[in-house]
Amino acid sequence: MDYEGGYCPAKMQKYDCLLFDLDDTLYPLNSGLATQCRKNIGDYMVEKLGIEESRISDMCNLLYKNYGTTMAGLRAIGYRFDYDEYHSFVHGRLPYGNLKPDFVLRNILLSIPIRKVIFTNADKIHATKVLRKLCLEDCFEGIICFETLNSPEENSASNYKPEDTKSYIFDIIDHSSRAQPNTELPAAPILCKPSESAMIRALEIAKIDLNRTIFFEDSIRNIQAGKRIGLDTVLVGNSQRVKGVDHALVSLHNMKEALPELWKEGERSGNVRYAEKIAIETPVIA
Ligand SMILES: [Mg+2]
């Protein structure tokens, strides 16, 4: 895929990439997917990992807070499981039927003459399904997803023996209850947002220039991590600007009013990219 040609330095525009989170950014939070996803994660922890139901809520909150995703946290504290099985359990039963084609957003995205890429912590199957339901699958040049940063080899069955699944589990609830914990939290073997090093690595893989990219996200902590690594930021789903937020939009449908420069800049540079030429089936990445 050609990321080099097409622009003249003398006419260099401010942005040459629009980077979009997927869930609760391309569609509204009230679609019900996020709520069901949280429930499915809890069910997975009880059914597949044998964790007591009474501990699920506290554990999920602590793991999400400390590791970016519950999945990354579960691996960090010692649980071993197959990533694909986890993803299919957690995402497989989501109410995808609640997502409807969004032709307003589709027209907005296709009319912006700047390259667009998805950056999600979710797996590729989920990302592809969501984009298809929204009728946006051909609006993006590629998808940076779970598989981009986490190789299947590291998760292969040959890397651990079945008895390892019963190995030492770090008690994160006990750890958090201590005023002065005597141990550090274990490191996560999974890379994901909002880890700054993981984000930088992902953008390097996708050949994205941090200094010429604007990042659309609904998660404030991901936005703030993006800001720290040098991205310009747009908080989606909330009109309140806080630290780290350059722009805030209730919905991506308001992009044209809030960011008219995206249309002008792309045209001025002559760096017009028609995303519809590159199908999602040939992602940059993953
Ligand atoms: Mg999101």
Q: What is the mean pLDDT of each run of 10 residues along the chain (286 residues)?
A: 41 88 97 96 96 96 94 94 95 96 98 96 97 98 96 58 65 88 87 96 94 97 97 94 94 96 71 41 49
Q: State the pLDDT at residue 3.
A: 35
- Residue span of the structural domain in which 222 resides: 9-28+100-159+170-277
The C-alpha torsion from 165 through 81 and 220 to 117, rounded to 10°, is 150
Instruction: Please check whether residue 104 lies inside any domain of the structure.
Output: yes
Q: 3-state DSSP helix/strand/coil percent for the chain, to nearest 5?
A: 50, 10, 45
Q: State the pLDDT at residue 266.
A: 56
What global pTM score does this model have? 0.86
CA of 123 to the centre of ligand 1 (A): 13
CA of 119 to the centre of ligand 1 (A): 9
Instruction: Please check whether residue 39 lies inside any domain of the structure.
Output: no
**What's the angle, vertex CA 114, arms to CA 27 and CA 244, rounded to 5?**
60
CA of 6 to the centre of ligand 1 (A): 31
β-bridge pairing 213-217 and 142-144 = unpaired
Q: State the pLDDT at residue 240.
A: 87
Instruction: Please check whether residue 178 lies inside any domain of the structure.
Output: yes
Instruction: Please check whether residue 286 lies inside any domain of the structure.
Output: no
Instruction: Please check whether residue 69 lies inside any domain of the structure.
Output: no
How far apart CA 22 and CA 123 sit, in angstroms, is 11
Number of residues that make up the chain: 286
- Return the beta strands (E) in 138-201 as ranges: 142-144
Sheet holding 232-236, edge to edge: 142-144, 115-119, 17-20, 213-217, 232-236, 247-249
Instruction: Please check whether residue 70 lies inside any domain of the structure.
Output: no
CA of 68 to the centre of ligand 1 (A): 12
Q: State the pLDDT at residue 282.
A: 43
Instruction: Please check whether residue 64 lies inside any domain of the structure.
Output: no
**The dihedral sign for the CA sequence 4, 7, 10, 14:** negative
Q: State the pLDDT at residue 273.
A: 46
Q: State the pLDDT at residue 183.
A: 83
Token representation of residue 272? 């017009």
Token representation of residue 269? 């540079």
CA of 164 to the centre of ligand 1 (A): 33
* Residue 265 belongs to domain with CATH number: 3.40.50.1000
CA of 80 to the centre of ligand 1 (A): 25
Number of domains in the chain: 1
Q: How many CB atoms lie within 10 A of CB 266?
A: 22
Report the chain's C-alpha Rg in angstroms: 20
Q: State the pLDDT at residue 134.
A: 98
Token representation of residue 99? 């997502």
CA of 252 to the centre of ligand 1 (A): 13
DSSP at 215: E
Find the helix or strand (DSSP H, E) in which 80 lies: none
How far apart CA 53 and CA 286 sit, in angstroms, is 34
How far apart CA 38 and CA 29 sit, in angstroms, is 13
Instruction: Please check whether residue 182 lies inside any domain of the structure.
Output: yes
- Angle between helix axes 83-92 and 124-133 (nearest 10 degrees) is 30
